[in-house]
Amino acid sequence: MATFLIYDRDNTHVDPVKDLRGCYKLGDIVEVFDDDRQPPLAIPQPPPFWVVKITGITKAQADQFIAAHISDPVTCPRCDGTGIDPTPVNGESVPCHQCRGVGTVTTRLRRRLYCLDWVNLPVEVQTALTTTRYYETTFALARHMVRNKATGATV
């Protein structure tokens, strides 16, 4: 069992890159609590949070839903993909510090990759969240309510 803390609105920033990369959006899963380990979360939570308790899910399964949306790897601009620092301090061959010697880098595109698919939620779920700020369900049902923002698919 796990408890999801979910954002109930869109935060915004005037810079469109920072808006996606840094702002929680409606339905974003902000934090996951393992009910076996964490003290119980106060229910209801004040805005901007909803609480959704999910049974039949492991902490490891739950944790994937708070991942950021990370870009595909691209060639490291500092070392041009060699993984070797182009300007080492003392002339020695050392790993590039920007890519840690890997030759590629990624960037965070969105604060969260997954979100509760608010517009497609069953009406009873929307009603429960707007009136009590709380909903309880199973992972088998909840997974159809969570959307991957990159693919658009539910999980």
3-state secondary structure of 111: coil
Q: Look up tokens 């996606």; give the residue.
A: 20
96, 116, 125, 128: residue in contact with Zn ion (rule CB under 5 A): 96
98, 126, 148, 154: residue in contact with Zn ion (rule CB under 5 A): 98
Closest CB to Zn ion among residues 44, 81: 81
For the stretch 28-50, what's the b/e string if a residue is b when 16 or more beta carbons lie within 10 angstroms of its beta carbon? Answer: bbeebbeeeeeeebeeeeeeebb
116 binds Zn ion (CB under 5 A): no
76 binds Zn ion (CB under 5 A): yes
For 54, residues 6+ apart whose C-beta sits below 8 A from its C-beta are 1, 2, 3, 4, 62, 136, 137, 138, 139, 142
56, 78, 134, 155: residue in contact with Zn ion (rule CB under 5 A): 78
95 binds Zn ion (CB under 5 A): no
Residue 122, Cα to own-chain centre: how many angstroms?
Answer: 22
Contact mark string toward Zn ion, 22..61, x via CB under 5 A? ----------------------------------------
Closest CB to Zn ion among residues 5, 99: 99
Closest CB to Zn ion among residues 43, 94: 94
The answer to whether the bond into 73 is cis (omega within 30° of 0) is: no
Closest CB to Zn ion among residues 8, 85: 85
Q: How does DSSP classify residue 120? A: G
Q: Contact residues for Zn ion (CB under 5 A)?
A: 76, 78-79, 96, 98-99
